[in-house]
Amino acid sequence: MLREVTATRYVEPLRSGGSVPAVVEADDLGTYVVKFTGSAQGHKALVAEVIVGELARALGLRFPELVLVHFDPAIAGHEPHQEVRDLHSASAGTNLGMDWLPGARDFTPEVAATFPVDPVEAGRVVWLDALTVNVDRTVHSSNLMVWPTAGVAPPRLWLIDHGAALVFHHRWDLSAPEKAYDFRHHALGQYGPDLRAADAELAPKVTEELLRAVVAEVPDAWLAEEADFATPDAVREAYVGYLHARVRASTAWLPTDFPTREEVAAEEARRAARTQRGRPDWLKRVPDLHGRPAAEQDWSAHLK
């Protein structure tokens, strides 16, 4: 089961996404990024984080440890923003923490241009995302980290943030486990991911027993609100049944068509040109706080 810790010090909020997670220190002397139960994404995002994250770890992919964090809003009473304090007040009790990776860098397009990724490793990551229908690991929002940035070991790719996976559970559409999704703009697509090797290696490992062990990590309270199911265990069986059926149908959804690095760059240039043409003059002059020309910015990240 996931370890349980108690938050003892509120360090800072992270405003890179709509859920406004926070960095906290805990009574085990660890530092964690906490995603709160009171966020707009709700419990389903936390359920997806646990299931996909623990499945990734079981399959040998690099993913930070998850813990259950007991959070008292009083420790963050100095937070100056009222909307963040409201989020904390709505999240008293058990939340989800991910081990903080100090010194890690985001896997941005600039980093990707020089960072080597083996096609076999790329294939494993894309395969997991395709199995769990994770639609939020694109060239613009990779949810990948490069860590460490210094030290003896070379930097490696680490997976983070799977709250947007398992899209079927938002309406509990279990009718088409073989459904294919468009993964052409996956963050690792330009590395020539070997999906067939990944399928041959990973699919036999995703057994019903493994899936039951993974979904058992989800707290009952995060599953109790599912009106279509009588008990939390019934919800767990729905996840197990769907994912097991999906892995057995992998030949139907296995992604195979990815653009090359040059094709990605050309599409980015066309996208930037279209965006520039569609902007009023005043917006074209808005400075880029991240160091890129305004015409090349991806403003969608700020609208989440």
- 214-230 pLDDT, tens digit per residue, is 999 999 999 998 988 99
What is the phi/psi pair of residue 178, to 5°? -90, 5
Torsion over CA: 216, 219, 221, 222 (sign): negative
pLDDT above 90 (res 289)? no
22: which strand partners?
A: 13, 34
b vs e for 132-165, b when ≥16 Cβ sit within 10 Å of the residue's Cβ? bbbebbebebbbbbbbbeeeeeebebbbbbbbbb
pLDDT above 90 coverage of the chain, percent: 72
- Coil, strand or helix at 284: helix
- 45-79 pLDDT, tens digit per residue, is 999 999 999 999 999 999 999 999 999 999 999 99
- What pLDDT was estimated at residue 149? 61
Residue spans of the domains in the chain: they are: 3-99, 105-253
- Give the other-Cβ count within 10 Å of 109's Cβ: 16
- 118-146 pLDDT, tens digit per residue, is 999 999 999 999 999 999 999 889 999 99
Q: How many whole angstroms separate alpha carbon 61 and alpha carbon 156?
A: 11
130 within 8 A of 137, measured Cβ to Cβ: no
145 within 8 A of 101, measured Cβ to Cβ: yes
Nearest to 67 by CA among 4, 161, 23: 4
Cα separations (Å) of 125 from 97, 144, 161, 194?
Answer: 22, 10, 13, 10
- What pLDDT was estimated at residue 259? 78
